[in-house]
Amino acid sequence: MKRTTGPRALALIISAILLLAGCGREQAADESEDPKLLLGFSQLGSESSFRIGNTRDIEEKAEEYGISLMLENANQKQENQIAAIRSFIAYRVDVIAFSPIVEDGWDNVLREAKDAGIPVVLVDRTIRTEDDSLYESLIGADFYEEGVMAAEYLLRKADDLGKDRLNIVEITGTEDSTPMKQRHEGFFDTIGGDSRMNLLESVNGDFLRSRGAECMEYLLETYGDDIDVIYSHNDEMTMGALPKIENAGYRPGEDMVIISIDGGQEAIDILKEGKINCIVECTPMLGSILMETAMKLKAGEAVEKVTHPVERTFSDYDDIGNLEPRGY
Ligand code: AHR
């Protein structure tokens, strides 16, 4: 392996200054060697088992592919992600990847990456921009379709329950994030024409277990017995909500239909117990596609603009006794 050249060492010093200014590097490439490919990845946080699984998968796949990974965890703050992307530019990584916490506010920093000639890959979530040349590729779930799948389950369940009216409460993910917006739209577009469906209220749980518990407490106090269906945008919030439902004297999965998204092991085990009725999968295993895409970009090859992983639904209509361990 060759030693690093002077400019890269200089870039490292600049990067170190930027990091000291608040970016907090978790793991860096060995700056004494020129790696096959240097990938800077800004993860948005550690709010859920999905997120932790996604970070682990990217670390493992980078290792497998022999790619050097500079990983930054933004701890749920967009400004930390912007600072991390700037440090990757200063370091002159080969490819920048990041999972945008929200959709808006990225144009300036992505223009800096483009001006520096560094290709950008969006992982998991997308951004809102007029200029889609600011990123090369998006690798992540079709969140709209996840909302559709959740609604399709509910329509089937409604037929079986035979009720005239189903009152729904929705616990949404982070405001202005892609999964929050698209899971809401996909779900309500799909049930919209069905006169049995009635939304009582949507509340924001920020994808966090603690917020899921708080939201559920509020919803139970406000609507109590009227609640028939809980549509929660991720497993973490669902698992925060479940003890509140039980403490209030209801049987989740029987007195109330519980619909969740992600499909991590803990939630799947609860589904098997009957306390969750349906989980729409959102897979965090995006590492291999990311590594393949990064290598193509470094080689100057064309890449797919959008790649969605294939996902499925797990529900009380399925036999999931022999399901493989989920890995997150
Ligand atoms: O962007 C994907 C979502 O983010 C997952 O559903 C959720 O668990 C995570 O926080």
Q: What is the pLDDT of residue 18?
A: 44
Token pair of 103 as six digits = 């959709």
For the chain, domain boundaries:
38-141+284-310, 143-282
Q: What is the pLDDT of residue 10?
A: 41
Q: Assess whether the C-beta atom of 96 lies below 6 angstroms from ligand 1.
A: no
Q: Ligand 1 centre and the CA of 49: distance in Å?
A: 9
Contact by Cβ (8 Å): 44, 76: yes
Atom of ligand 1 nearest to the CA of 236: 8
Q: Assess whether the C-beta atom of 65 lies below 6 angstroms from ligand 1.
A: no
Q: Ligand 1 centre and the CA of 21: distance in Å?
A: 28
pTM of the model: 0.90
Q: Ligand 1 centre and the CA of 10: distance in Å?
A: 37
Q: Ligand 1 centre and the CA of 73: distance in Å?
A: 15
Atom of ligand 1 nearest to the CA of 45: 10
Using DSSP bridges, classify how beta strands 278-281 and 313-315 pair: parallel, antiparallel or unpaired. Answer: antiparallel
Atom of ligand 1 nearest to the CA of 261: 6
Q: Ligand 1 centre and the CA of 294: distance in Å?
A: 23
Q: Assess whether the C-beta atom of 234 lies below 6 angstroms from ligand 1.
A: yes
Atom of ligand 1 nearest to the CA of 207: 10
pLDDT digit of tens for each residue in the chain (328 aa)? 333 333 444 444 444 444 444 443 444 444 445 668 999 999 999 999 999 999 999 999 999 999 999 999 999 999 999 999 999 999 999 999 999 999 999 999 999 999 999 999 999 999 999 999 999 999 999 999 999 999 999 999 999 999 999 999 999 999 999 999 999 999 999 999 999 999 999 999 999 999 999 999 999 999 999 999 999 999 999 999 999 999 999 999 999 999 999 999 999 999 999 999 999 999 999 999 999 999 999 999 999 999 999 999 999 999 999 999 999 9
CATH of domain 143-282: 3.40.50.2300
- Tokens 């907090």 -> residue: 24
Give the count of beta carbons closer than 10 Å to the beta carbon of residue 244. 20
Q: Which of 100, 89, 146, 92 is nearest to 123 (CA)?
A: 100
Using DSSP bridges, classify how beta strands 137-139 and 306-307 pair: parallel, antiparallel or unpaired. Answer: parallel
Using DSSP bridges, classify how beta strands 313-315 and 306-307 pair: parallel, antiparallel or unpaired. Answer: unpaired
Contact by Cβ (8 Å): 37, 294: yes
Q: Ligand 1 centre and the CA of 248: distance in Å?
A: 27
Site to substitute for ligand 1 among 43, 50, 126, most atoms within 8 A of C-beta: 50
Site to substitute for ligand 1 among 176, 209, 261, 282, most atoms within 8 A of C-beta: 282
> Could you confirm whether domain 38-141+284-310 is CATH 3.40.640.10?
no
Q: Assess whether the C-beta atom of 281 lies below 6 angstroms from ligand 1.
A: no
Query: CA 9, 10, 15, 20: dihedral to nearest 10 degrees?
Result: 100
